Chains A and B, each alone.
Chain A
Amino acid sequence: MARFLALRLIHAIAIVFLVATLTFFLIHMAPGDPIITRSEAQSVPPEVRAQLLENFGLDRPLAEQYLRYLGNLATGDLGYSFSENRAVTAAIMERIPNTLILAALGMLLAFGIGVPVGAIQGWRSGSKTDNALTVTSLVLYSLPVFWLGIMLQLAFGLGLGLFPVSGATDPVIHDGLSTLGRLWDRIRHLVLPAATLGAVGAGALARFQRSATLETVVQDFIRTARGKGLTERLILFRHALRAALLPSITLFGLTFPVLLSGAVLVETVFSWPGIGRLIYDSIAARDYFVVTGTAIVSAIMVVLGNLVADVLYWVADPRTRPAS
């Protein structure tokens, strides 16, 4: 186990290094520099611009900039945010908890609904239920997540007035509430964004789980279980689901980046103060280092998610362990 973990960890670090390198060169492919491209900076006098470039080391040769950037990254320094006037790391750290809460809840909904629905479909494939659910999950999977968010805002927020449509807390009354009241306020603000993210994810997961279950139910051990005279319920829960659930552990790692992409859009729609909304704001403000910083941080989150998935798989399926 220790050897396996060490190998995986080295792999993870190598990937983060590659991502950092890629991000650095990709962003340098765009024309202009971070000073010129800032929207309000068209009129910056040349000497001020030169000074700014020097301050941030942007006048140095690319290779030197790259090495310095890697060095800074190793110490957790992701650069400086022009629009927030503080370190990018601080700005990101402040927002990560909000994104993690939203993503975790979205994932919980997606797995909690998508996996059972897909399993039922695979088990009863070809039935009326299966057909109806196939169409439903296909539509959910094809929805632009930002549009679904807007429609839910229109219906449940603005139309029925059931839930707040923006922010993580009520800007006026939140601080005056009791502890329980504040928690309730946060939960009410979470409902629509999490439902949006979860609905789209559930569609994708149901599709996946359906085919995983379909592949399992034709296997010999299911026939054997039937032959032994086990009840259908027992076959489904004891035999079929156990085998069919394995792939969804891998999916845990795979859905994470998709969920983060979705979070950028959902946070934008609902003005949710997470790193997705930070990205949106920094695009508008042309805030160079925030964009690179969030890319690296989200890649680290994805790599960690994959690491967790690998370990879970290792625990759940002895076949994947290397022979020792």
Chain B
Amino acid sequence: MTRNLIARTLRSRRAKVAFLVVSTLALGALLAPVIAPHDPIAQLDLVGLKLAAPSWQHWFGTDDLSRDLLSRIVYGARISLAVAGLSVALSITCGTLVGLAAGLAGGAVDALLMRMVDALLAIPRLILLVVILAFWPQISLPLLVLVLGITSWFDTSRLVRAEVLSVRERPFYAAAVSAGTSTGRLIRNHVLPNVAGPIIVAATLGIGQIILVEAGLSFLGIGIARPTPSWGRMVADSQEIMVSAWWTAAFPGLAIVVTVVAFSVLGDALRDALDPKAS
């Protein structure tokens, strides 16, 4: 079943390329110290290598502090992927739990939880994150993951709740209930297998979206602290120097685009593979 799903997901050439990109990125992030040609925060030569254009020595050029951009981007992949992966895991867990609770309990619990989700969705996500994070003196990786995780589960909870409600309408569920199946068993054997598909799709698409959000936060100056290389912060820092050094703005941004596109393509491919209507 799982192998079959992978095969169906990677059927199109687009999905194969995306899978290759994601694997390369993950490997690159993991092996950053081996792959990166230079130390990402070392100022190589403030006189001779300040804002050096792309060359064979420095493929993506250097920034205003003479740091090697390619190395910074390779190390930046670590931050982006780690933050995105961990916060998506957290948000999917929260969203599934809340969705299950709302869908199974119904009544007042359901109404209360869903009104709360309505309120949270009414604050634009970036502004909500700014409200939470703007006044922390220093933002660490665990704090960022925690905050991104607990502000990203709202859609997932609605999705899971809707799936739970539809499962509850089906005959097999009524049969299981009337056979005296315990709630835990009902969830494990009947509800979760039916909501797993949409959750996997939401998680894959969510990784790309969280990378964008994290980059946006860094751009506003509320990401992981300097000098740790972060793609969003690199783009932000390039704004004043890009007139004379376009590469400082272009390459970190391209890194974000390529990563997000790859995750989106994989998410779409997974959705098509899981869709019983598609042949």
Contacts and interface: CB of A to CB of B under 8 A. Distances in A.
Interface in B102-137: 115-116, 118-128, 130-137
B219 interface: yes
Contact of B220 (A14, A283, A288): A283
The A interface is mostly helix, strand or loop, or mixed, namely: helix
Contact of B261 (A19, A142, A269): A142
A16 B120 CA distance: 10
A288 B119 contact: no
Given A18-B115, A146-B219, A150-B242, A26 B127 contact: no
Given A22-B120, A257-B125, A139 B131 contact: no
Contacts of B260: 142-144
Contacts of A284: 221
A264 B127 contact: yes
Given A142-B257, A268-B219, A284-B221, A279 B264 contact: no
B114 to A, nearest CB: 11
A15 B120 CA distance: 9
Contacts of A146: 215-216, 219, 232, 235-236
Interface residues of B, number: 48
Interface stretch (A71-79, A83-91, A228-236, A291-299): A291-299
A303 B264 contact: no
Contacts of A44: none
B137 A295 contact: no
Contact of B222 (A26, A138, A283): A283
A150 B249 contact: yes
B130 A31 contact: no
Contacts of A156: none
B116 A295 contact: no
A269 to B, nearest CB: 8
- Most chain A CB within 10 A, of B120, B127, B253, B260, is at B127
5 contacts: A15-B118, A144-B212, A147-B215, A269-B239, A299-B124
Given A142-B261, A295-B131, 11 more contacts: A142-B208, A142-B260, A142-B264, A144-B219, A150-B242, A257-B123, A258-B124, A279-B127, A283-B130, A295-B130, A299-B122
